[in-house]
Amino acid sequence: MSTHHNHSHAPVPVKVFTDDIDEAAARQLQNVAALPFVHHHVAAMPDVHWGLGATIGPVIPTVGAIVPAAVGVDIGCGMNALRLSLRADQLPDNLAGLRAQIERDVPVGFAGHPDGRWCEAGLGRVAAGLKRIQAKYPVIDARWQSQLGSLGGGNHFIELCLDESDRVWIMLHSGSRGIGNRIGQFFIEQARREMERLDIRLPDRDLAYLAEGSALFDDYVEAVDWAQHYALENRRQMVRLILAALRHQVAQGRLPDFSVTDEAIECHHNYVAHEHHYGRDVLLTRKGAIRARKGDLGIIPGSMGARSYIVRGKGDPESFCSCAHGAGRRMSRAEAKRRFNRADLAAQTEGVECRKDKGVIDEIPGAYKDIDTVMANQTALVDVVHTLKQVVTVKG
């Protein structure tokens, strides 16, 4: 495909699965829809909201080009969930010890493992693919070895939840950590330089793209694929550490022995995949959306004071077989810090063993959309399999 596009064509339609969308997000979606390589239409999930670089919540099918900022910088960010044989009445009355054990065993925030090679098997599964990219682009470097099996900060979390039958679940949300951020930032900047070099004017500089057939396009697709594998391995290693933390509590006599059931779910919600939709093979970008093909199991978390859902996809074609990835923010982090205080946080997370200090006020439930409204807006996309309520939340 030529690297030159005609930018005067009519935009494709935008299908939005909610009425709750602000003007800034709607404008971002229209700008995406105006790109000449977008195929058929753009879909926006019920949790859609304005995002830095590109909207959070769109599903974008492209042919012949890709927009790095539409993928974002937390490449491969997603969720894991698994059910344990434990029941609610087997948990200790005071859950502070469980939270403290997980926080000791899983690095959170900017922290990583002191020994960068703590997990040889996990590192071996992801190491090889990065060497060629880093040899070509030395700037793409980060503490990815020590960060494998670490949570990060922001909206990333680890939770212990109870389902509708009072069974205990582990649920976690994290991505590709610092290395995914480096890859994303680097190629976003490279795409902007390409637009300048080719004198291509865009409605938003963050929609700078890389055209198929270019070396940058191939390198980006390879780097994104690596980061997605790294993010998945990162979550799997955290699951391993969380289970070890719980087994430590068993050894201390604070929990009965337990096993993992066969319900283990993994899903990305910031990623790119080769898929076929509306008669074309496309690169499908989901930024804040999960795949929901017919029968697919997925995880849709609320905020840290709200319910979360295990869902089964219905394979809706208008959504490109997708659904929302969570509640979605209602306000910026800065606005949340202005509007709420520690007392508000304590009230809104009552009954949840979690941080209640000023460092996580920007994650207060009131800063997020109502998860039940989001779910009501996507009954055509998914069926609810389990409803989860967190009792322990760990945040960086």
Compute φ and ψ for 318, nearest 5 degrees.
-65, -25
Termini Cα distance of the chain: 44
152-182 residues labelled b (16+ CB within 10 A) or e (exposed): bbbbbbbbbbbbeeebbbbbbbbbbbbbbbb
Instruction: Report how far residue 314's alpha carbon sits from residue 296's, in angstroms, rounded to the nearest whole number.
Output: 8
Compute φ and ψ for 265, nearest 5 degrees.
-125, 135
H-run or E-run covering 391: strand 382-395
Catalytic residue numbers? 325
Cα–Cα separations (whole angstroms), residue 285 to 76, 89, 158, 198, 209 = 11, 42, 26, 24, 13
**Whether 272 contacts 284, CB under 8 Å:** yes
Instruction: Report how far residue 122's alpha carbon sits from residue 82's, in angstroms, rounded to the nearest whole number.
Output: 19
| Strand 56-62 relative to strand 280-287, pairing | antiparallel
Amino acid at 362: D
Give the tokens for residue 54: 């590109």
| Strand 42-49 relative to strand 14-16, pairing | parallel
Number of separate helices (H) and strands (E) present in the chain: 11, 16
Give the tokens for residue 35: 């790109």
Contacts of residue 208, Cβ cutoff 8 Å, sequence gap at least 6 = 67, 68, 69, 188, 191, 192, 194, 195, 202
